[in-house]
A and B are shown apart, each in its own frame.
Chain A
Amino acid sequence: MASTWELIKQGAEAKVYRGKFYGAPTILKERFQKKYRVPSLDKKLSSRRTSQEARSMSRCLKLGVRAPAVYHVDLEKRHIYMEDVTSGLILKEYLNCLDPVSHSDSLENVMKTVGGVIAMIHDGDLIHGDLTTSNMIYNEAESNLALIDFGLSFVSSLAEDKGVDLYVLERALLSTHPDTERLFKILLDSYRAASKNGDSVIAKLDEVRMRGRKRLMVG
């Protein structure tokens, strides 16, 4: 009797399935083959990204931030079997359920938690790369936050990269939730308080805001 894997998401790079792995609720991320790419290059890129993603998850856990645990990595098949984090709600859904006026306390609490968590991974030089409210799982009762989808993660100590990471989140928040300017300020204050060199990252963030995510290559 083979266990079944239910397709839950399909992106540009991978398919995501939900199922069981030796009894444990598991998410399977499969980077599929890209037919238009030269096979040897495709293989190289996929396996590099697969291992990069798995290692980022491990690094995140080591920094004391909740992330899916890795159960098994199959580089040949480009598979990552990881823990299915079910301890909370996707932050996006959670925010949508909150009324900005009557739940302003809850909103402020979430933003503080998010800021603190990002400061923790940035202090460990881990850049998430795709910080959006869909990639965070929030548990209100314990007020803890888990990060998921480390597909674009990398290690860097540059304030520039950390600033861009925050900028991506700011843009994601602005486009999906109302009254985010005030909320993002709360998030940044909490980030600054928790982070070792929050000031320089936030100074970079201001720079990034002026010019956009991509660095200008002039001269």
Chain B
Amino acid sequence: MSPFYLSHTYKGLGLLKMKLETKSDHFCTLFLCTGLTSAAELRRTVLSGKLPCCLLDAGMICSSFQVMVAVNKAVISLERKKLVTKSLQTEIIYSLSPSTNISESLRLFGAKDDSNSVVAVFTSDSSDSFLEQEESLKSLVKGLGGEVLQDNDFSKTLDLKSLKKVYQITDKELQVTTLEKAVTTAMSMKHLV
């Protein structure tokens, strides 16, 4: 039996292509948007279905690896028809959380109306649509006084104190591992018996 193959390649700025070797191909890309006067407008657009992405609170994201691990989990649930939430987008937010409480997870990791920085995650079964979506995201963000960062440098927007509290990461732990690794470890402990 061959193991579960996964791969990623970087394609241009901020574009992360993810492919799962299962029935269908899945691609994923993420953007860090900062300086928003309010994320309310952006959230409305996403909730109305005009922009097919999920919006994360940037304060709770320490690296793109953290997001990729969550997307990976969500896509696996989708393919096995085991989504716990109503859509892949909310499943990504839920996968990030160490808690099994859905509404709490969405509250902690989803973008809020008063967020200044958000992470937009697009998933698709082909990477063709990404360019168009990137453009519409950029113009929306610009209209709200913000910008889409080119380098996905999460250290600028990270709320370390809250992140450590939510994932219950101790300083003792951080002496022997990195924040990113402590976070994925905490994410993986969910659902273990």
Cβ-defined contact, B4 with A66, below 8 A? no
Cβ-defined contact, A64 with B8, below 8 A? no
Residues B1-41 near A (CB distance < 8 A): 1, 3-9, 18-19, 21
- Cα A5 to Cα B4 with chains together (Å): 9
- Cα A63 to Cα B175 with chains together (Å): 10
Chain B residues closer than 8 Å to A54, beta-carbon distance: 188-189, 192
- Candidates B3, B21, B68, B188; contact of A73 at CB < 8 Å: B188
Complex interface: stretch among B44-52, B128-136, B140-148, B178-186: B178-186
- Cα A63 to Cα B172 with chains together (Å): 7
Chain B residues closer than 8 Å to A24, beta-carbon distance: 65
Q: Which 7 A-B pairs have the closest CB atoms?
A: A69-B181, A51-B192, A2-B5, A3-B7, A64-B172, A70-B188, A22-B68
Complex interface: stretch among A76-84, A88-96, A197-205: A76-84
Chain B residue at minimum C-beta to C-beta distance from A60:
B176
List chain B positions with a Cβ less than 8 A from chain A: 1, 3-9, 18-19, 21, 65, 68-69, 72-73, 76, 80, 170, 172-173, 175-178, 181-182, 184-186, 188-189, 191-193
Chain B residues closer than 8 Å to A3, beta-carbon distance: 5-8
The interface on chain A, measured as residues whose beta carbon lies within 8 A of the other chain's beta carbons, has a size of 42
Chain A residues closer than 8 Å to B173, beta-carbon distance: 61-62, 64
| Contact status of A30 and B73, CB under 8 A, knowing A22-B18, A58-B189, A61-B182 | no
Contact with B along A138-166 (1 / 0, CB 8 A): 00000010000000000000000000000
